Every structure is written in C-alpha cells, then in structure tokens.
A and B are shown apart, each in its own frame.
Chain A
C-alpha cells in the first residue's frame, strides 16, 4: 500500500495501547495492528491493575474503565500440603479515593483501552498478523502482514507483540527465549454471586482481596499461585518456570487442579462454576535476559522486552510505562524533525534508565538465579514454617522452650545452618 504512517504499533495489549494512544494524542499518524479478533481477545492476565501507570496516560480512566474491585487487603500464604501460614494486610487507607490497585478482566479492559486509542485518532486493524518486519539494510521501514496487499510503511515500528516476540526473533533483535526465562501460568475464572464473594472474603461492595501464594502448591518448582476477587467471579491461577515444568513432567493443569483441592483454597471456591480456562507465558528472565530495546527505526516495549517484575507481580504497568516512553521518544523526534535512527531513539533507553523501570529491573536481576538454584524456597521452607506454627499452636503439655528447641532442630536437620544463613543472605542481597 502507498499510504505511509508516522508509526506502526504491533499489538494491542497494554504496551501497544499506551504507545498508540500517546502518539495519536500528540497528533501523529498511527497504525496499530492486532492479530486477535478484538483487542484483549488473546490476552491473559491475573489481573491486577496498578493505577499509576495508567493515570499518567489517561488521568480520568476511573470514569469509564471496566474495573472490577479496588483492593483493600493483601494476603501472603506459604503453603504446606494441608496447611498454610500467612500474613494479612488490610488498611482503611486503601478505601480512600483515588484507589491504587484494582482487579480487572483483561478482555474487557483491553477493549476499553483500545476504544480510547481509536478515539485519540489511531487506526486500528484487527484479525491481522504481522508476519515480518520490512527492512532496508538494517533499518526497519515497515511491516508485512498476512493479508493481500499487506505491506505497509512507517518512520518507526514499535514492537508491542508480547512475550515470545516472534518478530524480534525473526529480525535477529532477540535470541530464542530459554525455558528458564519464561514462566507458564494457567488460570481459571470461577463465577460466584457478588454477595457470596463479599461475605466469604469479608469485604464490602466494590472492595477486593488478593491472595498471593507460595510453597508446596508448586511442587518444588519455582513459581507462585494467586487468587483475586472480581465483581462476581474469582480468578485463581498458578505459574511456574517453563524449565521446571519440563523437568518435573507435571502439566500446569494438574498443578492447578491440586491447588484448587488444597483444604485452605477449596472452601473459597466452593459453589462457583468455572467460566474460563487460559494459559499464557510470562517473561521472567529479568534484567539479564533483556534483549536490545531499540535500533534503526524500531523499539521494543512491554513483555516483548522482558519488562516484568516477577517478585512484585508487575507487568502491565511496566508495559504501559515502556509504551508511553517509546511514544514520547517518537513525539520528541517528530517535533524536532529528527530521523528515527538508533542514535536518536536511544532517548527511549535513556528514559527507561532514569525511571523506576530499569532501576527495578536491575535491583532484582539476581532473583531468578537464586530461586532457580535453590528449591528449598518452594519445598523445605514452607514445610518447616508450617510445622513450626503447628508445633507452637498445639497445646499438648510440652513447654514452649522445648518446642522452640525442637523447631530449631527441625530446621537444622533439613538444611544446614550454613545453608539457611546463605539463603537468607542471598535473599537479602537480591532484595537490597
């Protein structure tokens, strides 16, 4: 086609939408291409929305975005086979507007975001897959789609095509993803009446709870589980590293079924009916697994660039923020009438480095390795913690001092004192 755009955005997830919206709002001629039937049709997320990242793009998003519940309570569970020990944090402050975190259903949320993108003036084409980047030497000059007459050109191409970005791989910007750098997550949505959810979780209308879980539920694999309250449904899921799934020969589905049968989880789901089952990859390789993020006429944003903070379960916010930064780099260059060369697009990386995005990516850069090399975090420790709690809480005539001694002994029996200290030190370093 002869028509030329200022920018082409591949993908209509949070990163692509943020990029397309920001550029279109600034008056640029933007084309967005999405392979799904509609934006959100292929997307999977827990999902928790962190307000800040979206607020910076659409300040009044609360007016009409499809938000399920705002979160007023966070629980962390460490599970053994039959028990769990956990913490709960609930605060009235979370009930003060503007709310900070919400549960969302991605299919609806992405549709809403996309409507805003189109209203801002971007041209959206769905059910169309980008099959190749069009190159002139080492410069990206457009994209090839799977439709007849399907080549289309632009000054810059933003790759927002999600985890496992085939396009970046094909173009050689990205190495093949390694199983140790991606988690496979499965989740289900279970229907329950609004009132049942509210009484079961002790929350009011519009209020929500998050339960993050770790321990025996992942059967020694590196990963976590989660349970979120939506308006009239619950989302439950579990994710582990792909390399672990391969090694352990457990299917994600089996893992989730076992998890749902856990005596602490089963009653929370009771009476609900499963509405949806989905599986999706999460890029969790962290800083060390990140690809190059920009080049001649191209930038990578969101999951495609490994922008996920697995420890804090952040992804969509990084996607939106990186999408916005990439867009702002383009807007800046357009205003100054500068070409979209790698040297000029380096300002995208600059913005990332100056912000929380790269600071957080770097802070946790050792996390994946620590967990990988040490499955005690997912097997031994949960068991020991739960046993310790059990021992302390069982009134059986044994004095507390002996109980403490017994607990210490059980820890040391399972893992040497040296190993325990080492793990604690590594964790501390990783979080530092």
Chain B
C-alpha cells in the first residue's frame, strides 16, 4: 500500500503579530510549523502503515524552507519526502496549488501506485479547505472529508470503510480505493518521534522537484497566471472592546459585593426576574 500525505508549512498563528508601525503582518521571525490539521492526517496514515504495511510519502509545495516541515514528517515515521519548489509557483491560489500537487502526485503514482491521498481539513493560514477536494477532483479520486475514523481497510477488494462527521450525525461510508481523505481535527494525537527516526530525519536526502520534475508542462495553470483569485485587500478586523466595570463597595465583604452586583444587574435588565421565571417554566 502506498499513501501520500500533503502537508503545508504555515506560520505559527499563535505567534503572528501585526507590526505596530506599518500595520502589516510580520512573518519574519515567526516560527514555521506543519499545518496542525495535516498532522491528524499524517498520524492516521502512519497508523494504517503500522497496521497494513506499505509506504508513506509526504509531499509539500512551497519555498525551500518548507524542507523543515517535511523533515519533521520523516521524524514521525514517513518513508519519503518530496518538496515541490519552483519560482514559477509563486502567487499560486488554491486552483493552481491543487493543480501542481495533483501533477506531482501523478508523478509519484507512476513510480509506485498510490492508494490513498491524505490532506488536512484546511490550513491555518489560507483556511480555504479547497486544496484537498481540488486534488481529488483533478485526479478523479473518491473524496472523503471530515473523517473521524477509518474502521476497515480491505486491500484485497480495494475497499475502505470509515466514519464521517456530518451535520447532525455520523455517516458510515464504504468506498473504493483510490481515495482522498481529510481527517477531522482532534482525531489523532501525533506520535513522539523515536531517536533513530530523529537521526533519519536529520540525514534524509530530501527530494526537490521543480515544475518539470513534477510533470507540469502547462505553465499557464500555475503561479499567478494560473490563479484567478484576486486579493483586493487584506486588513485586520478592529477588535470591539467593551470597557470592563470594576464594582466596589465600602465594606469589601464578598456578600455585599454580590448584593451590589445583583442590584446593578436588576437595574440594567428590569425584566430579568420574569425572564428567569419563564426560562425555568
């Protein structure tokens, strides 16, 4: 069995700051991480490999620094890593990104047939959740999003059974391979890499593919040219602040403070009494 996991390197959103002077997003110095949603998928792929054998190849499109994300995936236990990197990809939107990734997966497939492709549910920087489905559509793969668990994999009959979160319930689905899966967040906790795998990751001779190696001949489908999305404006929403009120009373006793607070609440919402009674009824 051969699994391909698409991972994207993203800035650690918890550490992004807006430059106080220029008001632009400061990417410099913000540590880059593997898109957290992709780790749920990677862990699922590694579990399938543990159970059924086979190989896991991780794939990323991005600048040369994205190498770090791929090495991390190797340290967790992925077998191979490919970085698709080329100046020609600059400015790619989701349409162009899914085109490039689909081409690369096709190339990987020619080398060793691919049974399952995993993608993250969405990224934490672009947030569109379009790339996974885009790849599935282009490669004509069964698309399974919001998967919460894979319950059975029948390699002989090439069938997969899984649970998918849907509005108001859980769907139990069975479909044929090859397919593309995006895992729901919180499904798996990423494993802790072993020391030998840390060594392997540090030493792994990463494969770097340019657009030709990724099998892309039509350059009008990648980069800015292949990206119909137009970003007309980027701005940080103004946070709404409601000034907090500090309630004080002379005695400083908790009981009196509570009474003061209640008095204030009932003055501000005169119907509170009735509302509570109604809600209780």
Contact = CB atoms under 8 A, between A and B. Distances in A.
Interface string B189-213: 0001111101100110000000000
Given A273-B20, A275-B17, A148 B199 contact: no
Contacts of B193: 147
A364 B203 CA distance: 45
A276 B198 CA distance: 30
A107 interface: yes
Contacts of A1: 195-196, 199
A152 B20 contact: no
Contacts of B192: 147-148
Nearest to B21: A193
Interface string B236-267: 00000000000000000000000000000000
A37 interface: yes
A349 interface: no
What's the dominant secondary structure at chain A's contact region? loop
Nearest to B18: A273
A149 B195 CA distance: 6
A191 B20 contact: yes
A241 interface: no
Contacts of B20: 191, 273
Interface in B1-57: 17, 19-21, 29, 31
Contact of B31 (A38, A128, A192): A38
Contacts of B198: 125, 128, 147
Nearest to A148: B194
Contact of A145 (B21, B29, B195): B195
Contact of A147 (B19, B194, B203): B194
Contact of B202 (A3, A125, A275): A125
Contacts of B195: 1, 125, 128, 145, 147-150, 152
A223 to B, nearest CB: 29
Interface residues of A, number: 22
B203 A191 contact: no
B15 to A, nearest CB: 10
Contacts of B29: 107-108
Nearest to B33: A37
B21 A191 contact: yes
A411 to B, nearest CB: 46
A192 B195 CA distance: 43
A123 B17 contact: no
A128 B192 CA distance: 10
A123 B31 CA distance: 21
A124 interface: yes
Interface string B117-131: 000000000000000
A3 B202 CA distance: 15
A34 B29 CA distance: 20
A146 to B, nearest CB: 9
A267 B199 CA distance: 51
Nearest to A3: B199
A273 B195 CA distance: 41
Q: Which 6 A-B pairs have the closest CB atoms?
A: A273-B20, A148-B194, A147-B195, A150-B195, A125-B198, A149-B194
Interface of A: 1, 3, 37-38, 41, 107-108, 123-125, 128, 145, 147-150, 152, 191-193, 273, 275
Given A1-B196, A123-B202, A149-B194, 20 more contacts: A1-B199, A3-B199, A37-B31, A107-B29, A123-B199, A123-B203, A124-B202, A125-B202, A145-B195, A147-B192, A147-B194, A147-B195, A147-B198, A148-B195, A149-B196, A150-B194, A152-B195, A191-B21, A192-B21, A275-B17
